[in-house]
Amino acid sequence: MSRDPLIVGGIVGTVVDYFDASARLRVLYSNREITNGSELRPSQVANQPTVHITGLPGSHYTLVMIDPDAPTPSNPSQREYLHWLVTDIPEGRDVRHGTEVVAYERPQPTAGIHRIAFVVFRQAVRQAISAPGWRSNFITRDLDECYSLGGPVAAVYFICQREGTCGGRRYR
Ligand SMILES: *[C@@H]1O[C@H](CO)[C@@H](O)[C@H](O)[C@H]1NC(C)=O
């Protein structure tokens, strides 16, 4: 049995194929760093987080933030829902130094426990990525393939459910 949290949480499989991490991704909401499988309330993720990517000096990275459980985990007909897309993030600098292609949209799940994942790709070159026409039915694997991004280099996910809901299944 694998103990890799991305496999346990189903991010590897649903969103990306297995990869060996070659960059370090830190996502902080109000100075609190998220860990794989931790739960955050919608009110805690209202504003865009600080994101640091440490990898190959001089490189640029692409960040996607998606919800594979939209609109509900039992019927994810909008899978994947795109919350944020930023390209050309310089290694070692905050995400604000990148190019925001699709603006941050706060997660506001209405039903069920949603996984929200951040996936990072290293760009071979600085490149323009065009904004998809809509946020629903985004496919991270297609972005990877379309722009020859070469597979993910880092990822992390948290879980989120409607404010005021108690209990429920936790992944960790
Ligand atoms: C999340 O899990 C992945 C895969 O094991 C790992 O590479 C990454 O460092 C973890 N992130 C955090 C913040 O723990």
For residue 44, what pLDDT is reported?
A: 97
In a domain, 168, yes or no: no
How confident is the model over 89-148, as pLDDT tens digits? 999 999 999 999 999 999 999 999 999 999 999 998 888 899 999 999 999 999 999 999
How confident is the model over 18-37, as pLDDT tens digits? 999 999 999 999 999 999 99
Pocket lining for ligand 1, CB < 6 angstroms = 4-6, 21, 35-36, 156
In a domain, 68, yes or no: yes
What CATH number is given to the structural domain containing 43? 3.90.280.10
Residues paired with residue 46 on neighbouring β-strands, in sequence order: none
Q: How far is the CA of 103 from the centre of ligand 1 (A)?
A: 24
The greatest distance separating any two alpha carbons of the chain, rounded to the nearest whole angstrom, comes to: 46
Secondary structure (H, E, C), 14-31: HCECCCCCCCEEEEEECC
Tokens of 172: 């960790």
How confident is the model over 133-156, as pLDDT tens digits? 999 999 999 999 999 999 999 999
Q: Check if the beta carbon of residue 116 is closer than 8 Å to that of residue 157.
A: yes
Nearest to 129 by CA among 149, 112, 113: 149
In a domain, 167, yes or no: no
In a domain, 52, yes or no: yes
Residue nearest to atom 14 of ligand 1 (CA): 35
For residue 128, what pLDDT is reported?
A: 85
Range(s) of the domain holding residue 30: 5-161
| Site to substitute for ligand 1 among 25, 118, 158, most atoms within 8 A of C-beta | 25
Question: What's the number of domains the chain is made of?
Answer: 1
In a domain, 129, yes or no: yes
